[in-house]
Amino acid sequence: MNLIIDVGNTFVKLAVFNGDKIEYKKQVELDLIIEEVKAIKNNFKLIKRAIISSVGSLKSDAVAVIKQYFDVLILDANTNLPFKNSYQTPKTLGVDRIALVCASVQQFPNSNVLIIDAGTCITYDFITEVNEYLGGAISPGLQMRYKSLHNFTAKLPLLNTEMPLSITGNSTQQAIHSGIVYGVLKEIEGVIEVYNQKYSDLTVILTGGDSNFLSKQLKSSIFATSNFLLEGLNFILHYNSNE
């Protein structure tokens, strides 16, 4: 059994895998990570290995505690990966993006795959059918766009994500929803179209915190999955295991 630890800026996602199957999953605040790891250790005696992926700031004492319980792999630019990385600045490639690409290698081998992660940022990552990662794109996510309109103007309100009633907003609130949501949807559709024109048999994966909201508005040919990053981290741990 494996413990997967995905550290964000505020929250931590933890998952226990038995082989390729998730047995347990929980999200906690960053300062509760040690308490949750101890609880998992008590409830799942067969866990031997853990992987830590951190885009946030995980304190060294927390890492030390986790290492007391498990054989820990910390994902970074030097980790052995199951694909050719042609990114020109591999040391700046986010570990979350690495994990997503690894998940695509495991689940969609020998395929041209575009992975769209709709979270704080919207990231686009592309790997070819010959297992070569070429890179992608980064743009602001839904909430970042809402916050930007509020923070960089004097009077525009801060709104929660909502599907607009019409493309033509008949109030300031509806205009904001229309500009942001349709802007994101058309961006995603446009990026997919460009890749479709260049690469045959394209597989498109949509994941991340806003994937459920966006998938309802996008074409059904897109695979929407909420656990893709966790599955990629589990695969990396298996790939780097001697077993």
Residues with catalytic roles: 96
Is 7 annotated as contributing to ligand binding? yes
Which tokens belong to 110? 């020998």
The pairs formed by 141-147 with CB atoms below 8 angstroms and a separation of 24 or more are: 141/184, 141/208, 141/210, 142/118, 142/180, 142/181, 142/184, 142/210, 142/213, 144/120, 145/180, 145/183, 145/184, 146/176, 146/180
Is 10 annotated as contributing to ligand binding? yes
Is 12 annotated as contributing to ligand binding? yes
Contact 157, 109 (CB under 8 A): no
Is 8 annotated as contributing to ligand binding? yes
Is 141 annotated as contributing to ligand binding? no
Is 117 annotated as contributing to ligand binding? yes
39: CB partners within 8 A, 6+ apart: none
Is 11 annotated as contributing to ligand binding? yes
Q: What is the Cβ-side half-sphere exposure of residue 113, based on CA atoms within 13 angstroms?
A: 25
Residue with tokens 């979270």: 119
Is 120 annotated as contributing to ligand binding? yes
Is 95 annotated as contributing to ligand binding? yes
Contact 216, 224 (CB under 8 A): no
d(CA 139, CA 116): 11
> Which residues are part of a known binding site?
6-13, 87, 94-97, 117, 120, 172
Annotated binding site for ATP: 6-13, 120
Binding-site positions for substrate read 87, 94-97, 172
Residue list, annotated binding site for K(+): 117
